[in-house]
Amino acid sequence: MTSEEKSITTDKEPSTDPADAFGALSDPLRVDILQALGGYHRETEYEKTIGFADLRRRVGVEDSGRFRYHLKQLHGNFVEKVDGGCRLTYAGMKIVAAILMGTYTDVITKDATELDSDCFVCDNPAVATYENGTCIVSCANDHPLFGWQVPPTAAADATLPEIVDVAELLARQGMERTLNGYCPECYHTIEPEVLAEQTEPPVFRAQCETCGARLISPVGYCLLADPRVAAFYQRHGHDLNKYYIWDLPFIQNEDLCTLVGESPVRVEINVSVAGETLTATVDETGHVTDYQLVGE
């Protein structure tokens, strides 16, 4: 063991205070160290641990004492020491991913762009914008049609219609994850519910008690990730995922959504394609409990 390696043998206990943990990232050199470790991970599929001296060379710091000091500040929360070398912890990998995604640094704004779609309320063209990490689709009268977060890395070189595609993909995946009981943002457990008491029509709602992420949508969103609804579209030669989410009748038309039970809540949603109707019954947690096929 070299003297350099010896000097990092005392790992700090991980701090549970977020201010302390993120305080460790206050120096640019420490961010460089995390990125160098992330780069090493990408290049070496199986070998995840790098020696102190190799890491210092990768970061490009001559002063061994200075490097040792800053690496120590990352130990515990973001970097761990294994077999005489270091590697990223799970939190370290997440931080590196967030840096690469531009989540905390990039401010990207795109000019409003008309889409090949009309607002279902006023028939004006649907207009997409991207600002502050969020893709929003509305119209000249500000009717809200759709909105979802898209990381800056996915937006940087994309056109607005491409960003809308990504946002819709993330929304479908987010609904699937939410209905499976996991927050789409932080992966803590989340309890989705269909509210009918003070809302007409009923709405789907899920709020994460951990990170505060909140999802409110028409109940029809519960059908977006449903394989049987997708299969119903497919049987008639249509790809459910090719439609803008807000263009789907079972999302936009509240007359197709009927409250059939209040305690517990039961909602029937009619999905019609080519003269055939699939009636899906959704329970108080947003899950489909029953399907009925009705020919017209």
Strand 203-207 vs strand 146-149: parallel, antiparallel, or unpaired? Answer: unpaired
CB 163 within 8 A of CB 138: no
Please say which residue, 114 or 185, places its beta carbon nearer to Zn ion.
Answer: 185
State the nearest-atom distance from the C-beta of 213 to Zn ion, in Å: 5
Identify whether 14 is preceded by a cis peptide bond (ω within 30 of 0): no
Q: Report the residue count for the chain.
A: 296
Site string for Zn ion, 73-112 (x = CB under 5 A): ----------------------------------------
Whether the CA torsion 60, 63, 66, 68 is positive or negative: it is positive
Q: What is the DSSP string of 27-65?
A: SHHHHHHHHHHHHHHHH-SS---EEHHHHHHHHT---HH
Stretches 134-142, 153-161, 224-232, 266-274: which one binds Zn ion (CB under 5 A)?
Answer: 134-142
Which of 54, 185, 193, 276 is the binder for Zn ion (CB under 5 A)?
Answer: 185
Which of 61, 119, 137, 257 is the binder for Zn ion (CB under 5 A)?
Answer: 119
Site string for Zn ion, 223-262 (x = CB under 5 A): ----------------------------------------
Q: Which residues sit opposite 256 in a β-bridge? A: none
- Under the binding rule (CB under 5 A), the answer on residue 183 touching Zn ion is yes
State the nearest-atom distance from the C-beta of 181 to Zn ion, in Å: 12
14 burial (CB, 10 Å; 0-12 / 13-18 / 19+) is middle
Give the CA count within 13 Å in the CB-facing half-sphere of 288: 20
Binding residue count for Zn ion, defined by CB under 5 A: 13
Q: Which residues sit opposite 134 in a β-bridge? A: 131, 149
- Under the binding rule (CB under 5 A), the answer on residue 141 touching Zn ion is yes
Which of 74, 208, 223, 224 is the binder for Zn ion (CB under 5 A)?
Answer: 208
State the nearest-atom distance from the C-beta of 189 to Zn ion, in Å: 9
Please say which residue, 59 or 213, places its beta carbon nearer to Zn ion.
Answer: 213
State the nearest-atom distance from the C-beta of 253 to Zn ion, in Å: 15
- Location of structure tokens 């270091």: 86
Which of 159, 189, 199, 210 is the binder for Zn ion (CB under 5 A)?
Answer: 210
Stretches 62-70, 80-88, 147-155, 212-220: which one binds Zn ion (CB under 5 A)?
Answer: 212-220
**From residue 229, how far is each of 245, 256, 266 by CA, in Å?**
14, 15, 18
Please say which residue, 183 or 278, places its beta carbon nearer to Zn ion.
Answer: 183
- Under the binding rule (CB under 5 A), the answer on residue 294 touching Zn ion is no
Q: Which residues sit opposite 193 in a β-bridge? A: 205
Count of CB atoms within 10 A of residue 240's CB? 20
Detail the DSSP E strand segments found in 132-202: 134-138, 146-149, 193-195
Q: Rounded distance, CA 125 to CA 61, Å?
A: 55
- Under the binding rule (CB under 5 A), the answer on residue 122 touching Zn ion is yes
Which of 12, 72, 143, 287 is the binder for Zn ion (CB under 5 A)?
Answer: 143
Please say which residue, 134 or 141, places its beta carbon nearer to Zn ion.
Answer: 141
Contacting positions for Zn ion (CB under 5 A) = 119, 121-122, 139, 141, 143, 183, 185-186, 208, 210-211, 213
